[in-house]
Amino acid sequence: MSKVATPEQAKEYLNRFMEGLKRRNPGETEFHQAVYEVVQSIFPYIADKPRYHEKQILERMAEPDRIVSFRVCWEDDDGNVRVNRGYRIQNNNAIGPYKGGIRFHPSVTQSVLKFLAFEQTFKNSLTGLPMGGGKGGSDFNPKGKSDAEVNRFCQSFMTTLFHHIGPDMDVPAGDIGVGAREIGYMFGQYKRLTNQFVGVLTGKGLEFGGSLIRTEATGYGTVYMMENMLAVKKDGFEGKNCAVSGSGNVATYSVEKINQLGGKVVTLSDSSGYIHDKDGIDADKLAYVVDLKTVRRGRISEYAKEFGAEFHDGKRPWEVPCDLAFPCATQNEVSGADAKTLLKNGCIGVSEGANMPTEQDGIDAYLDAGILYAPSKAANAGGVAVSGLEMSQNSARISWSEEELQKLLRDTMKGIHDQCFEYGEEPGGRVNYLKGANTAGFVKVADAMLAYGVV
């Protein structure tokens, strides 16, 4: 395919590509979804560049370098032996060591982690830092487990994982269900097994090599991405009503930054439902949420009781009218119908803190409406960017000041915005940030792969 393809040829190529992918990866629907989103949006860019086709670059990117799957045995507090499955997916290390989080959640499957590792490859490329893409995790459910049980699980998980990771090989971090506590337990076990104190995990405690603002970085970055998109339209957060989903790490620091920039957040959620607080979630209420979720490990419904807000059992917040939406919980939490409801109610911007939170027909609805839409691999890249800075600090055995890191995070998000803008600008002045993110992320990884020959 050496000339610009006609729309029919493009469609045929996409169909053939997806058929092959589905045949090779049966039943892995989340992985199919993530690959489809990328391939269909970068096709206009690669159509007239035969080097990418001849060297099968997309086919190689969509085949992980390595999948490690292993048994994780541990004993619960009653002495019962429990068995979970652990994984590490090393998707692509063309531009740096594998890098990406670890997720502990009962919904974790190979398909979920393959989609996340694939996405991470593009996201990490966008940060401009030398990091490849990987992801890991387990179907272990930390909810309701004692600290001692979580400790035993993390130690058992690391006892196999440590063979496959290293500061120049693969550097995991946190994700859903993996926060400061779990990273501490896993780092402690890595150190014990290897007798090495190295930057093999990021998101570490500040006492043992962690970086300032890593905890805040994903949420802050998601909001900076929206701030940058609004600035192009000579607009800002002042007076905007915002709907945020989730109530974990990404959601809470998104709320903090929205508040600082003059917006008002009216929703938060967890897997049992959402709260609607018409008065806004201010700093004091947010401190309550952080304590509720990270110390007491309770349910978001308790917020409604505490502050007299509404709780909507089993529902998602997208039915609440808002100017801006920040899905910050999990994949596929915004259906096509939810996206249409957001648009009908006047939503003008979506910045995705979670990974792949919007289903494909929801994305299509945003793009058709021409709203400001920052896809997850651009919007939530601030977290892994500060992880990259944590790696740099660990290698140099130094710690940067909060002021320096805050500036680096802001500059990184501006850089990501500008790359998406450059590759996503369309005739008529619209910016397709999805196409921009996928294309800009692709180019760097693809060109590095070309340089290596056939590997």
Query: Can you give the binding site for ligand NDP, defined by CB under 6 A?
Result: 105, 107, 174-177, 179, 218, 246-251, 270-271, 328-330, 353-355, 380, 383
213 conformational bin, left if phi > 0, alpha if psi -120 to 50, beta if neither: left
Tokens of 441: 């992320």
Work out what residue 416 binds among ligand 2IT, ligand NDP, none; the CB cut-off runs from 5 to 8 Å by kind: none
Long-range contacts of range 343-347, CB-CB < 8 Å, 24 or more positions apart?
A: 343/369, 343/371, 345/320, 345/321, 346/321, 346/322, 347/243, 347/322, 347/323, 347/371
The span from the CA of 311 to the CA of 305, in Å, is: 9
Work out what residue 177 binds among ligand NDP, ligand 2IT, none; the CB cut-off runs from 5 to 8 Å by kind: ligand NDP
> Does residue 387 bind ligand 2IT (CB under 6 A)?
yes
Q: Which is nearer to ligand NDP, 46 or 285 (CB)?
A: 285
Work out what residue 247 binds among ligand 2IT, ligand NDP, none; the CB cut-off runs from 5 to 8 Å by kind: ligand NDP
Q: Minimum distance from CB of 318 to ligand NDP (Å)?
A: 13
> Interface with ligand 2IT by CB under 6 A: which range of 24-32, 46-54, 95-103, 253-261?
95-103
Work out what residue 328 binds among ligand 2IT, ligand NDP, none; the CB cut-off runs from 5 to 8 Å by kind: ligand NDP
Residue 135 is a catalytic residue: yes
Q: Minimum distance from CB of 452 to ligand NDP (Å)?
A: 28
Work out what residue 202 binds among ligand 2IT, ligand NDP, none; the CB cut-off runs from 5 to 8 Å by kind: ligand 2IT
Residue 431 has φ and ψ, to the nearest 5°, of -115, 120
Tokens of 389: 């800075």
**Residue 5: Cβ within 10 Å count:** 17
In Å, how far from its chain's centre is CA 210?
20
Work out what residue 99 binds among ligand NDP, ligand 2IT, none; the CB cut-off runs from 5 to 8 Å by kind: ligand 2IT
**Residue 65: Cβ within 10 Å count:** 17
Q: Is 19 exposed, middle or buried (0-12, 13-18, 19+ CB in 10 A)?
A: exposed
Q: Which is nearer to ligand 2IT, 175 or 323 (CB)?
A: 175
Work out what residue 100 binds among ligand 2IT, ligand NDP, none; the CB cut-off runs from 5 to 8 Å by kind: ligand 2IT
> Does residue 93 bind ligand 2IT (CB under 6 A)?
no
Q: Which is nearer to ligand 2IT, 53 or 181 (CB)?
A: 181
Pattern 325-364, binding to ligand 2IT, x per CB under 6 A?
------------------------------x---------
> Does residue 125 bind ligand 2IT (CB under 6 A)?
no
The span from the CA of 143 to the CA of 55, in Å, is: 46
**Residue 293: Cβ within 10 Å count:** 22
> Does residue 412 bind ligand 2IT (CB under 6 A)?
no
> Interface with ligand 2IT by CB under 6 A: which range of 99-107, 264-272, 302-310, 366-374?
99-107
Q: Binding residues for ligand 2IT, how many (CB under 6 A)? A: 13
> Does residue 99 bind ligand 2IT (CB under 6 A)?
yes
Q: Are strands 132-138 and 98-104 parallel, antiparallel or unpaired?
A: parallel
List 135, 264, 293, 377, catalytic entry: 135
Residue 312 has φ and ψ, to the nearest 5°, of -110, 100
Residue 135 has φ and ψ, to the nearest 5°, of -160, 150
Q: Determine contact, residues 353/250, Cβ cutoff 8 Å.
A: yes
Q: Are strands 170-173 and 98-104 parallel, antiparallel or unpaired?
A: parallel
Q: Which residues bind ligand 2IT (CB under 6 A)?
A: 99-101, 120, 123, 173, 175, 202, 355, 380, 383-384, 387
**Catalytic center residues:** 135
